[in-house]
Structure 1
Amino acid sequence: MIKLPIRTRRISITHMSAADLKDYEKLISQPEIAAGAGFNLVSNQKMLTEVAKRQISHPMTLGLRIHDHLAGAILLYEQIDQNGFPDEANLEMSYFLDPVYWNQGFMTEAADQLTQVLKHDPTVKTVNAEVFTDNLASKALLNRLGFEMTTTVTDPIIGRKKAIFKLNLA
């Protein structure tokens, strides 16, 4: 679906591999990332390692690299349609970045490059993203990329409000 790597002057987006496991675990163990992505709900390190392995093995878990260092990730998954089947035309995107790199435009650059590539894929019609309503930086990022907020929901597990954003590619 997506031809990788995607490179800019500052970043590269690549497939992830087992070699990234330790760096990925470090990322998802950081309190800011864990709370935002739900990794803080994983009860022990062994389970967190298994979650990390499963995510890394998914072909659409993409590594965001800065100076060849794994600094974040963008995960794309098919939405589940009303019949319970994966819908490859409509993707869900989630992302996170090492807090050291926050507010420097790295994730905006990566997400922009990725959505530009997806716009040229005739099989993908929409990309959706969920963000906590108090995550102003992430909401601003999605707005800059042309996503439109469609609704808000309360996360059933955490009990926090999320905004649902949608980008029409077709």
Structure 2
Amino acid sequence: MMHVESLFSSFPFIYTERLVLRQMDVADAEDIYAFYSDPQVTKHLDWHGPSSIEDTRMLIDSWNQAFADRRLISWGISFYPSESRHIIGTITLMPTRGIFDADHRYPLTVGYDLQTDYWGKGIMSEAMQAVIHFSKTHISPHRIQAEVYPENVASLKLLKKLGFQEEGLLKQYLMHEVTKTFLDVVLLALLFN
């Protein structure tokens, strides 16, 4: 297991058979804005995505600053090997409270999004397996959890396939940033001990 300081000394790229999970930069803003502009992508999120390419650049900068502050790791998903740096999705991993630290006292929360052209092709399953393996190997959390809208059947199915157990329904747990309505979520968790 890596020491937490060395884990955050440079961004951890993850390679799989088809994918690279990599750090995003402002050059990726158009790709990211394009898939967040699709209502099919945002219908199961608690926001509508960035409202412009400039907002997307600021979002990427905030993700990279949060990584530097050890508050989250936000990977962009691209195909590998490929000359294209095209981002087709994201995965974010963060402690439920505070920062990544040596105690690993807080569970980690994972969230993900994928461009609709790539749904149903095993892309997110492959990417999530890699993030779970990375987490076990380099962070050693006792628990990774995810919050999913009950109607997001595909996401519930994916997480259960990866070994996450459904723990219950959290009533009016999240407020949608735009509609200001409270939303129910299903809590799922993967335990490591």
Same topology, TM > 0.5: yes
Separation (CA, whole Å) in 2 of partners of 1:25 and 1:144: 29
With normalisation by structure 1, the TM-score equals 0.83
Structure 1 residue 124: Cα displacement: 2.0
Report what 1:155 is aligned to. 173
Separation (CA, whole Å) in 2 of partners of 1:49 and 1:4: 21
Query: Against the structure 1 CA distance between its residues 116 and 41, is the aligned structure 2 distance closer, same or farther, given a 3 Å change threshold?
Result: closer
Within the candidate set 8, 13, 20, 1:12 is matched to 20
**Paired AA for residue 92 in structure 1:** T
Q: Which has the higher strand share?
A: 1
* 1:29-61, Cα deviation, whole Å (9 max, x unpaired): 22122232233287x546565445423543211
Separation (CA, whole Å) in 1 of partners of 2:26 and 2:65: 8
Q: Give the unaligned 5+ runs of structure 1.
A: none
Separation (CA, whole Å) in 1 of partners of 2:140 and 2:16: 25
- Please say if residues 174 and 184 of structure 2, whose CA atoms lie closer than 8 Å, have aligned partners that are also in contact: no
With normalisation by structure 2, the TM-score equals 0.74
Q: Give the unaligned 5+ runs of structure 2.
A: 1-6, 68-72, 176-180
Separation (CA, whole Å) in 2 of partners of 1:70 and 1:41: 15
- Relative contact order (C-alpha < 8 Å, sep 6+): which is higher? 2
Report what 1:166 is aligned to. 189
* 1:14-39, Cα deviation, whole Å (9 max, x unpaired): 12122222222222222122232233
Within the candidate set 27, 34, 40, 1:26 is matched to 34
Coordinate RMSD, CA, aligned: 2.4
Report what 1:127 is aligned to. 144
Provide the identity percentage.
22
Separation (CA, whole Å) in 2 of partners of 1:18 and 1:39: 21
Tell me the matched-pair count: 165
